[in-house]
């Protein structure tokens, strides 16, 4: 069965949106197969977003991701990667449609509530990055 990696980012945890976000995934009949709460290190944040390292917002993004605790989730289900990306909504919260997590809760700018893997290859890499003990 397909799996994907979701991170409830620091703004999602600070704003007490964890329960609402988990509820959306459960309502969609996706299975939570791993979950962990903790602080992301700067080193891992830079690796996780390495593909954006040349962008002007990279330092702001890394600082934001290490600004407070996050919740890491592995969700499982048929077509789960695509489903969760659609439930997440567009990267810029002001462009994300109502009914998506970012559309309903995202703030303008970097603080867009959650991360979700964007392909089968990145899902495998990201699950191993944050849940190495499950390999």
Residues known to be catalytic: 115
Burial of 95-114, coded b for 16+ CB within 10 Å and e otherwise, reads ebeeebbbbbbbeeebbbbb
Q: How far is the CB of 130 from ligand UDP (least distance, A)?
A: 15
Longest dimension (CA), the chain: 38
Name the token pair of 42: 């700067």
Q: What is the DSSP letter of 100?
A: B
CA 129 from chain centre, in angstroms, equals: 13
Our CB check for Mg ion shows the closer of 16 and 107 to be 107
* Candidate segments 19-27, 67-75, 109-117, 120-128, binder of ligand UDP by CB under 6 A: 109-117
Candidates 112, 123, 126, 130: give the one binding ligand UDP (CB under 6 A): 112
Q: Which residue is nearest to Mg ion (CB)?
A: 118
Our CB check for ligand UDP shows the closer of 20 and 86 to be 86
Determine the Cα–Cα distance for residues 42 and 105; give it in Å rounded to an integer: 25
Which residues of this chain interact with ligand UDP, rule CB under 6 A? 52, 57, 61, 91, 109-110, 112, 115, 118
């Amino acid at each position: 069965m397909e799996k994907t990696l979701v991170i409830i980012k620091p703004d999602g945890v600070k704003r007490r949106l964890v329960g609402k976000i988990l509820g959306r995934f459960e309502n969609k009949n996706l299975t939570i197969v791993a979950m962990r709460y903790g602080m992301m290190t700067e080193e891992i944040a830079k690796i996780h977003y390495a593909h954006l390292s040349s962008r002007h917002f990279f330092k702001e993004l890394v600082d934001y991701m290490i600004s407070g605790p996050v919740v890491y989730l592995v969700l499982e289900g048929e077509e789960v990667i695509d489903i969760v990306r659609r439930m997440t909504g567009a990267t810029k919260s002001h462009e994300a449609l109502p009914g998506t997590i970012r559309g309903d809760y995202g703030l303008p700018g970097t603080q867009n509530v959650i991360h979700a893997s964007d392909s089968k290859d990145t899902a495998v890499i990201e699950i191993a990055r944050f849940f190495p003990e499950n390999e």
